[in-house]
Amino acid sequence: MNASDATLEAGFVADETVTAIQARYAKLSGTLALRPMADFYASDQKIHLKNPLRITESDSGFRTVSLTSVSSPTLAFDLVNEDIDSLQVNVSRLETAYSQYAQNSGSSGLGRSLANIGKMASGDMRTLFTALDWSAPDGHEVSRALDTLGPEAYDASARASLAQQSEFNLLILRRMLGNESARRFLSATSEKQAEADNWQFWASPYGSGS
């Protein structure tokens, strides 16, 4: 029995699968609430849902059909057809869906790019979108992700790599100068010039090979 002040909830996902509610007999009177579940939803997607009720015999029907509040920081859902036999939910992803949480210009640009490809994402990109779209409702996890994926992060990584390469170049230069100095010294003080020419010296920071 579903009283007039009661709510019966059914979840759905992007491929239009909806949680089925089965019963031999039900007295319906309250509200059917539809809840979007965590999944990849394309921008401007229209989701047509079948009647979630699998009831052999029923008395009356729901007074209202509604959407539950959506805890997504980037997606909006709109119920445009409340007919129980032809439910339709429209999904929207604004151009500022991600960039609104950016902390700098680089992250903002990345956010706008993500919004533009939200309609055609495939493969691993869908996994990324799902993680972002169903992260913390206040958007702080989107902000952190943009910083991690943004150009500033790659720029910092590139600078670190260049600094490390500069250290390696300096070590190589010292090695070459050391070899040359040793060769000249031994050539002048011993008869082991041939052996001196074959000496090799290499220095690197402890643990740099890991």
pLDDT above 70: residue 103: yes
Q: Is the pLDDT of residue 86 over 70?
A: yes
Cβ atoms of residues 144 and 184 within 8 Å: no
Tokens 């990109």 correspond to what residue? 125
Q: CA triplet 78, 92, 103: central angle to 5 degrees?
A: 125
Residue 53's φ and ψ, nearest 5 degrees, are: -85, 130
Residue for token digits 């929207």? 92
Higher pLDDT among residues 176 and 90, named by residue: 90
> Please, which pLDDT band fits residue 210 given cuts at 50, 70 and 90?
very low
> Would you give the distance in Å from CA 168 to the centre of its chain?
35
- The pLDDT value recorded for residue 51 is 81
